[in-house]
Amino acid sequence: MMGSSHTAPAVTTPAAYKSQVRDGVVHTRGVRYGKRADPADRFSALIGPDPADPQGIPAAFPQNPGSMDWLLGPALARLPRDEDAFQVNIWAPVGARNAPVLVFLPGGAYISGAGTADWYDGQRLCGQGGMVVITVNYRLGAAGLMGADGVENRVLDDVLQALRWIQDNVAAFGGNPDDVTLAGQSAGAWLAFALACAEPARGLFGRAAFFSLPFQPPLTASAAGQRAEIFNGALAADPATAGVDQVLAAQREVERAYAGRGLGLQPAADGVLVPADLADFSVAAERLHVESILLSATQDEAAAMLRGLPVPAVSPEMAAGFIAERFQDPQAVEAFIDGRIPGATHHARMVEAMSLYEFRLAATELAAAASAAGVPATLVRFAVPSPLDGIGSPHNFDLPFLFGNREDWSDAPMLDGFDPAGFEAVSAELRAVLLGFASGGVARRPDGTAVPAYDPALPQMLRLSAAEAELVGPERLFLRR
């Protein structure tokens, strides 16, 4: 691990911050980890927070309405918007000293989301695991990714600033800066993975957990430039100082231009934090500077992305074309899908193929590559179906179970009607996996049994369904084109 020489006195919370205590957990919201060096420039680099203004009302960075609101509910809409929402929320056990630290990066396709949202309430993880839990905001959309000449990975600089702030300050909240796990979901998982391979992040965390890590090669300089051209053409103003509504409208034009072809705004290769070969897991795994990783994917990730596509609109040619364009052996993939969902609609086949290609294979490929590089990896599959008709276990559905905070998802359509006892049983399994990993590097079951690390000679993963948790073999590693 990163070492264990650091000691700190038992504390409740630094006097500079306003906190609340509930059930043995101190919750400190809206803590500032940085500020813009130039307040007039939304693209400005960050410096440390102003000691005279260490905390604010929890907020989210400006964003357009999220494409997953129909699934997740309106929690994000309840947060005020602020271009200076460089904030973390912190949960710490009362009297903690040298407690493990779990840092979580939310997802949102780089254009929506907030670590300050109630969805990511760390009360239960903190109380059960005896660890400090920290959720992080980072700049979104154009503010986090767009530069004068193309895409710039300012979003990663934000996360680095947050991690450095945590190193310098978490001991005051009872955490051990030498025992930090960085976790993320979806876009947050991609950012965590990039930093787990990036030399400037070495020493800031010792383990990494990736939930729904997407297979997402970084943009090339040419692709980034094309996006910048669309954005700047739509904005027709200085992007550093234009109005927020103008920026969001121009950003929407980029998203429209790439609809159906991938993400409009996403990180680009920069040769420093994001190498061009980051999605080549066999190469990237050799750069991992963490002692172990945890990988989890939901069974039907793409159901969330394809919900708006009418079932009759997906022709046999569309589904078959997607498979033929992306896999070296499309016939083998077609046969696999036939066996897994026989008689399914072409829409369902598209969901299966996309879930496999974009998420499930990414988890298995990285687990295998990390193992070969000497970094133990644990593989988990979340296969619990949502009560929402026709979406199975979609992208994001594992989040309420991971945090164990069903009450904060009471208005999420994807969870409406889910049996409370069943929720608790599944949540206990998923929380135990993450807490075991974050506290000692070994994922565990609720009874303390260790989940075995991925072994290429006998590959296994922990599959969580509504009925049981069991060790099973993952899908074969279908080769990508």
Q: What is the largest CA-CA distance in the chain?
A: 64
Distances in whole angstroms, Cα of residue 86 to Cα of each of 38, 164, 202 = 14, 13, 22
Give the span between the Cα atoms of 83 and 243, in whole angstroms. 11
Distance CA 165, CA 86 (A): 11
Residue 102, strand partner residues: 133, 181
User: How many C-beta atoms surround the C-beta of residue 471 within 10 A?
Assistant: 11
Contact 351, 302 (CB under 8 A): yes
How far is 58 from 447, CA to CA, in rounded Å?
Answer: 36
186 is catalytic: yes
Beta bridge partners of 136: 88
pLDDT of residue 8: 41
Residue of 186, 371, 386, 439 marked catalytic: 186
What pLDDT does 66 receive?
Answer: 85
Residue 192's φ and ψ, nearest 5 degrees, are -65, -40
Phi–psi pair at 101, nearest 5 degrees? -120, 130
Separation in Å, CA 40 to CA 83, 203, 238: 10, 32, 12
Give the pLDDT of residue 67.
Answer: 87
| Rounded Cα–Cα distance for residues 281 and 385 (Å) | 29
Q: 193 is written with which tokens?
A: 């993975």
What count of Cα atoms within 13 Å lies in the side-chain half-sphere of residue 234?
20
What's the pLDDT score for residue 274? 97
Closest CA to 192 of 208, 178, 181: 208
Token pair 């203004």 is found at 53
Are 400 and 145 in contact by the 8 Å Cβ rule? The answer is: no
Structure tokens at 365: 């490929």
Per-residue pLDDT at 4:
39
Per-residue tens of pLDDT for the chain, all 481 residues? 444 344 443 344 677 899 999 999 999 999 999 999 999 999 999 999 999 999 999 999 999 998 899 999 999 999 999 999 999 999 999 999 999 999 999 999 999 999 999 999 999 999 999 999 999 999 999 999 987 666 789 999 999 999 999 999 999 999 999 999 999 999 999 999 999 999 999 999 999 999 999 999 999 999 999 999 999 999 989 998 999 999 999 999 999 999 888 899 999 999 999 999 999 999 999 999 999 999 999 999 999 999 989 999 999 999 999 999 999 999 999 999 999 999 999 999 999 999 999 999 999 999 999 999 999 999 999 999 999 999 999 999 999 999 999 999 999 999 999 999 999 999 999 999 999 999 999 999 999 999 999 999 999 999 999 999 999 999 999 999 9
Q: How much is the pLDDT for 149? A: 61
pLDDT, position 10? 39
User: For 203-225, b where at least 16 C-beta lie within 10 A, e where not — what string?
Assistant: ebbbbbbbbbbbbbebbeeebbe
What integer pLDDT is reported at residue 150 of this predicted model? 65
Structure tokens at 151: 């895409």
d(CA 164, CA 176): 13
In the block, tokens 């990163």 appear at 2
Do the beta carbons of residue 153 and residue 145 sit within 8 Å?
yes
